[in-house]
Amino acid sequence: MLQIGSHITIPDTEIEIHAVRAQGAGGQHVNKVSSAVHLRFDIRASSLPMSYKEALLQLRDHRISADGVVTIKAQQFRSQEHNREDALNRLRELIQHAALPRKKRKPTRPTKGSQDRRVDRKKKTGRLKALRRLIE
């Protein structure tokens, strides 16, 4: 069971974890051991609340495919168990991040001073260009 919040958990049956060989340089042992971990989690088929599912599917994250499947590859550690825990923690953080309510943007208006400065710059640029025209 992956604990997401105080009352939200994901059963282990909904998370697929496969051991694969890690990329990068290694020694004599590298071609014998599968220490990296691929984690797959289908958002649509999960038991998460609908609000969580919708928030996850709306995220613009490269780890979430168009089909709604989260894919995480963990290969930071030499131990398969550490990589498994890392992948699960990253999934937990992704779901928690998606569940945070977003602040509404309050549109603001430019201040009178900034408007005046903008107009002054435009006038100065116009005068400079007018002077250039006289020379030619």
**What tens-digit pLDDT sequence spans the chain (136 residues)?**
888 877 888 888 888 999 888 877 766 666 677 888 999 999 888 888 888 888 888 888 898 888 889 999 998 888 889 999 999 999 999 988 888 888 899 999 999 999 999 999 999 999 999 988 877 6
pLDDT of the residue at 60: 87
- Contact between residue 56 and residue 42 where contact means Cβ atoms under 8 Å apart: no
The three-class DSSP label of residue 88 is helix
Whole-number average pLDDT of the chain: 88
- Contact between residue 39 and residue 71 where contact means Cβ atoms under 8 Å apart: yes
2-99: CATH topology is Double Stranded RNA Binding Domain (3.30.160)
